[in-house]
Amino acid sequence: MHEHHGYIADKTAYLKRLKRIEGQARGLQNMVDDEKYCIDILTQISAMTSALESVALGLLNDHLNHCVVEAVAEGGPVAEQKLKEATDAIARLVRS
């Protein structure tokens, strides 16, 4: 099987995006602490949610194109497991 996860090539970009999201979360805490207007807070929550969804879709794409493709090429139970994991992850993303 592979040594690295599919996202490794983009690890720096993912970390940068996640740190930006972390900053957004701190900003939201400050907004609530400063008693900002509800709609402004909701707008920032929407932006943060979109940013997280973007990271999730990127990771899913990397997983499909790397981990799942390799497993399917090998075949057998590992392929079935990777396909099930991907399907379950997609279902969780759609529900959220």
Q: Check: pTM over 0.95? Answer yes or no.
A: no
Residue 51's pLDDT is 97
Number of neighbouring beta carbons within 10 Å of residue 10: 15
- Report the pLDDT value the prediction gives residue 2, as an integer from 0 to 100: 47
3-class DSSP state of 35: coil
Q: What integer pLDDT is reported at residue 54 of this predicted model?
A: 95
Each residue of 2-21: pLDDT tens digit? 467 888 888 999 999 999 99
Q: Does residue 17 contact residue 51 with C-beta atoms inside 8 Å?
A: yes
| Backbone phi, psi, residue 6, to 5° | -65, -25
In this predicted model, what pLDDT tens digit does every residue of 51-94 receive, in sequence order? Answer: 999 999 999 999 999 999 999 999 999 999 999 999 999 999 99
